Each structure stands twice: as C-alpha cells, then as structure tokens.
C-alpha cells in the first residue's frame, strides 16, 4: 500500500485509525441501561449472567438469534 511518498508507518496509522473507528461504532450500537428480567419476545426469564454481560439486554438468546437471522 505504501507508495514511497509517505512517512514510515503512515499506512499502519491509517489502518489503526480505521479499526479504532469501527470499534467505537460497534460499541455505540451495543445496548445500554438496565437489562430486563424477562424477554420482550417470549417472556421467559433472561439469565442473570446474560443481563450482566450485556447491559440493556431485552431478549433471550433464542429470540435474539431469531432477530439477527432475519
């Protein structure tokens, strides 16, 4: 990618900046806030470990998989 006209490491810096931007974007899309105790989709109890791991979660694993596969 380097064309000889850029300083050493410039290409690496561009890639690192793009990765950092993508990570920040992904984090911004994660649910936030208080997790629900019961799934919005089917009503079953969402396990505490899932509620702790994903703050703001409102679906059980099965319903979330169904949503993401659409």
Question: If you write DSSP's letter for every residue of 34-65 in order, what string do you get?
Answer: PPPSB-TTT-PBPPHHHHHHSTT--S-HHHHH
| pLDDT at residue 49 in the model | 95
The pLDDT profile of the chain, 70 residues, written as one tens digit per residue, is 555 566 777 888 899 999 999 999 988 887 788 999 999 999 999 999 999 998 999 999 999 999 999 8
Global pTM?
0.58
């Amino acid at each position: 990618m380097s064309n000889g006209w850029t300083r050493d490491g410039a290409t690496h810096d561009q890639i690192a900046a793009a990765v950092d931007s993508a990570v920040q974007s992904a984090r911004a899309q994660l649910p936030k806030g208080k997790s629900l105790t019961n799934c919005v989709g089917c009503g079953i109890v969402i396990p505490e470990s899932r509620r702790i791991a994903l703050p703001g979660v409102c679906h059980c694993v099965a319903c979330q998989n169904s949503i993401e596969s659409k």
